[in-house]
Structure 1
Amino acid sequence: MTIEVHLTLQRENFTLQTSLSLPASGVTALYGPSGCGKTTLLRAIAGLEPAAQGIVKTNQATWQDKQHFTPVHKRAIGYVFQEASLFEHLTVYDNIAYGMKRRQPHNRVESEFSLDLLGIRHLLDRHPEQLSGGEQQRVAIARALATQPDMLLLDEPLAALDNARKQEILPYLDKLQQKLSIPVLYVSHDPHEVCRLSQYLVIMDEGTVVEQGATSSLMSAPSLSGSSLFTVSQPEENQISHLSRDKYIIKARVDGFDAESSLNSLSFSGGTLLIPGEEITQPSVCVEIAASNIHLTTQPGQVSSMLNTLPCSLIDLQPCSPGYLTVRLKLGDEILNTRISRKAASTMALRNGQRLFAQFSAEVASS
């Protein structure tokens, strides 16, 4: 079953035109640069943009079509903004109780369950000014869930938080997306959040949908060739991101930790990854691989300072600059690019379809 969203909204200097069939469960990320239309699309789905024309249909109801428009207060949604927007004069308990007033007649999400899931039960008697930014956002999410919505809309809920507060709330969002039975639409311009939290990804630019599909597939789209859909925006200053066209982000499962060598063992479709450092306590993480760190060899047994040596197949070779070629590789389900000199390619007799071994280092992505 899917959520159908086919909307057009015309403004003086901006046009939103989208046609989407979204999963009716899990987290769908709306991703793209500032001003691309992510929040406008979310608002239109919520019914906050009555000028938008088209269709919004969920599993339970048709909220909008040519014949009728369901106002926002009658749509079974929970909406969380960038700012928590809690009622300052009310306690945490009373803020959440306010959300209960809009409950739908069927029970999809229990408030008691939300308190424990978001780790806020001990905060019920406090007022918003006594909470950290991360705690305020967790309360805002609990209030949205208290309405027992058919869909949860999160509009960059971490954007106003510093890195420490982001790290505070991310584990709770991890648990949230694993436990909720309702679909979640999550707006973000941060690729690390997208990789960590979402299963389905919608990439937007200038009011249109550039691409949509499984997050794992789109996150590993080739970037050095210039065809990457993630080049629609530029990274913020000092932000480590594959948007700079030379890094890839892969979601991997954490399998174990060797305390003696301080090595984490992770797995993904291409094999096992080894990452040094402190023990990773999350069940899964996003891993960065720099294209410049990918070295190729025809034999797996060669000694290297790179911790990871994994089999791959050469998809094709393309000229990219004087004396260099872009090499496109298939590593499990991932597609990665690296660059190699023409001389080295000739010496190795590289050809399409050839079995090679990629040697590289990797690190856990930080948002």
Structure 2
Amino acid sequence: MMLKLAIRHEFPGFALDAGFEAPPGVTALFGKSGSGKTTIVNAVAGLMRPDQGRIEVDGLILSDSASGRFLPPHRRGVGYVFQEGRLFPHLTVRQNLLYGRWFARMKDGARFSRIVDLLGIGDLLARRPGALSGGEKQRVALGRAILSNPRLLLMDEPLAALDEARKAEILPYLERLRDETGLPILYVSHSAAEVARLATTIVLIEAGRVLAAGPAATILSDPATAPVLGLREAGAILSARIEAQEEDGLTRLATGAGPVWLSRITAAEGSHLRLRILAQDVMLALQRPSGISALNVLPVTVRDVTPGEGGVLVRLEAGDEVILARITARSTAGLGLAPGMRVYAVLKAVSVAPGSIGTGGP
């Protein structure tokens, strides 16, 4: 299912002019507060009518200024999860969930049970929202939105109101939702860490304009997007598979860049996960280093070298993957780095987000 959007809208002191396509998976709208992310999502939901443009989901036209077509929200088949759960306080969790199912005129008990199990809210069904934590409320809100049987799920910074502990609680459920339901998701965030963990596609937005859009791995490892993401958050995403649990307590992972070893990951061999390598956690060497504690040293080829504020970003080809390193201008000159050079990337740290299995990086 594909979302196609091209809209323009004028507010006092602000103009939105955005266009992009969102394929299946999690498409993250990333940008600073006030950049226009929520306005875009509200336009898709039908909560605001753009001055100009067209919004289409899998051939269904939601809004088209040229023809005057504008489907009201209840006919769009779109689920919406806000920053706060917005649950009905007088209803139990079960009743809140059944409201979503009733709205979809759906009587599929097996699907209800599946969503309850997926989100881990079976023990909450008899409670009322006032007795739930922030993370529990958001899981229930997710369940209600999914049970409305939407063709598209909109999530407007659903973790913004949660503390770090509650975010850590709910992120695995969002990953399961992404991986197990096949539901297209438009996800608004200004947290690069969330986006790197969840997104399959990223749309960067600044001052009402789309700066870049594409696969998450491509956008996150592109030096041109680093100023928007923040230099501390620039990096790469690698797809990995657990290849072996070794006797000394390490897990060996197979990646397109080569083998990577991490502290023991509790998951079965063959499990797939996502590795995130921040550019600031990559060192470069002209020869394979010896006598160091770092286990993860990958042969790479320099693709390009981009000077910038706070250092130099070096994009590296590692097999069929791309890794980004941030080093000083002095180190760049000392190594004589140039496109096409063969060097070694030393990974100081690697974070893991599978269906979130943990972190490590010996």
TM class by shorter chain equals 0.7 to 0.9
Q: Structure 1: which 5+ runs fail to align?
A: 234-242
SS state at 2:70 partner: coil
Shift of 1:51: 4.1
Shift of 1:266: 3.3
> Structure 1 residues 4, 255: CA separation in 2 closer, same or farther (over 3 Å shift)?
same
The CA RMSD measured in Å over matched residues stands at 3.0
Alpha-carbon separation, structure 2, partners of 1:139 and 1:246: 30
Which residue of structure 2 lines up, in the alignment, with residue 315 of structure 1? Answer: 303
Contact 2:196/2:276 (<8 A) preserved:
no
1:302 and 2:283 equivalent?
A: no
Shift of 1:313: 0.8
> Structure 1 residues 60, 138: CA separation in 2 closer, same or farther (over 3 Å shift)?
farther
Which residue of structure 2 lines up, in the alignment, with residue 37 of structure 1? Answer: 36
Which residue of structure 2 lines up, in the alignment, with residue 57 of structure 1? Answer: 56
Q: Structure 2: which 5+ runs fail to align?
A: 353-357
Which residue of structure 2 lines up, in the alignment, with residue 271 of structure 1? Answer: 258
Which residue of structure 1 lines up, in the alignment, with residue 235 of structure 2? Answer: 248
Partner amino acid, structure 1, of 2:250: L
> Structure 1 residues 136, 55: CA separation in 2 closer, same or farther (over 3 Å shift)?
same
Partner amino acid, structure 2, of 1:62: I
Which residue of structure 1 lines up, in the alignment, with residue 170 of structure 2? Answer: 169
> Structure 1 residues 292, 185: CA separation in 2 closer, same or farther (over 3 Å shift)?
closer
Alpha-carbon separation, structure 1, partners of 2:308 and 2:100: 56
- Once the two structures are superposed, what CA deviation does each residue of 1:93-127 show, in whole Å capped at 9, x if it has no partner? 111121223216798x9333211111112211110
1:16 and 2:5 equivalent?
A: no
> Structure 1 residues 86, 309: CA separation in 2 closer, same or farther (over 3 Å shift)?
same
Which residue of structure 2 lines up, in the alignment, with residue 7 of structure 1? Answer: 7
Alpha-carbon separation, structure 2, partners of 1:341 and 1:51: 46
Alpha-carbon separation, structure 1, partners of 2:78 and 2:87: 17
Shift of 1:280: 5.2
- Once the two structures are superposed, what CA deviation does each residue of 1:275-322 show, in whole Å capped at 9, x if it has no partner? 34x635585244233436413123x3633232211111123456669x
Contact 2:159/2:167 (<8 A) preserved:
yes
Contact 1:82/1:156 (<8 A) preserved:
yes
Partner amino acid, structure 2, of 1:336: L
SS state at 1:294 partner: strand
- When normalised by structure 1's length, the TM-score is 0.84
> Structure 1 residues 338, 94: CA separation in 2 closer, same or farther (over 3 Å shift)?
closer
Alpha-carbon separation, structure 2, partners of 1:343 and 1:201: 31
> Structure 1 residues 320, 207: CA separation in 2 closer, same or farther (over 3 Å shift)?
closer
Partner amino acid, structure 2, of 1:61: L
Shift of 1:77: 0.6
- Once the two structures are superposed, what CA deviation does each residue of 1:23-63 show, in whole Å capped at 9, x if it has no partner? 1x211111111111111100011111124421111115111
Greater alpha carbon shift after TM alignment, 110-119 vs 63-72 = 110-119
- Once the two structures are superposed, what CA deviation does each residue of 1:163-193 show, in whole Å capped at 9, x if it has no partner? 1111111111111111223311111111221
- Once the two structures are superposed, what CA deviation does each residue of 1:342-366 show, in whole Å capped at 9, x if it has no partner? 68856x6655312222223113279
SS state at 2:49 partner: coil
SS state at 1:95 partner: helix
Shift of 1:328: 4.0
> Structure 1 residues 162, 267: CA separation in 2 closer, same or farther (over 3 Å shift)?
farther
Which residue of structure 1 lines up, in the alignment, with residue 355 of structure 2? Answer: none
> Structure 1 residues 104, 52: CA separation in 2 closer, same or farther (over 3 Å shift)?
farther
- When normalised by structure 2's length, the TM-score is 0.85
Contact 1:4/1:58 (<8 A) preserved:
yes
Which residue of structure 1 lines up, in the alignment, with residue 343 of structure 2? Answer: 356
- Once the two structures are superposed, what CA deviation does each residue of 1:110-158 show, in whole Å capped at 9, x if it has no partner? 3332111111122111101111111111110111112111111111111
Contact 2:100/2:145 (<8 A) preserved:
yes
Greater alpha carbon shift after TM alignment, 57-66 vs 327-336 = 327-336
